[in-house]
């Protein structure tokens, strides 16, 4: 087992998904995920989405860094968090709101369940 792994799209087979239809608020977002690591409740990789808007609800802890594109995350109270390349953030368990992809967005992420 290698103890060093670069987090790149080449590190994993891409998975293509969409948000559940009942969560979609606008558009037809398509997600591509490259899960480089999936072990013991820890997930790490790269995620990309085409434009659209959907509801989000976090039961896990997630760190993200936007690599490209533009998005806006809104919490349930309506506070907007604009995101662009270079922005890093954490979503904590209990966060509820929406994710809107304005321009195809790619991020790297670490999720702890």
Which sign does the torsion angle of CA 48, 53, 55, 57 carry?
A: positive
Question: What does the pLDDT read at residue 11?
Answer: 86
Which sign does the torsion angle of CA 31, 37, 41, 46 carry?
A: negative
Question: What does the pLDDT read at residue 2?
Answer: 83
The whole model's pTM is what? 0.95
**Which of 4-8, 45-49, 100-104, 109-113 has the weakest average pLDDT?**
4-8
All structural domains of the chain, each given as residue ranges with its CATH number in brackets, are: 18-112 (2.60.120.10)
| 5, 35 contact by CB (below 8 A) | no
What 3-state DSSP class applies to 9? helix
């Amino acid at each position: 087992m290698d103890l060093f792994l670069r987090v790149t799209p080449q590190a994993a087979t891409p998975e293509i998904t969409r948000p559940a239809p009942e969560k979609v608020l606008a558009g037809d977002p398509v997600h591509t995920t490259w899960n480089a690591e999936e072990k013991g409740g820890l997930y790490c990789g790269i995620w990309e989405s085409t434009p659209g808007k959907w509801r989000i609800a976090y039961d896990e802890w997630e760190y993200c860094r936007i690599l490209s594109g533009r998005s806006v995350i809104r919490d349930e109270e309506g506070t907007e968090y604009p995101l662009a390349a270079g922005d890093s953030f954490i979503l904590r368990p209990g966060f509820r709101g929406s994710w809107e992809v304005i321009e195809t967005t790619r991020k790297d992420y670490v999720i702890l369940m």
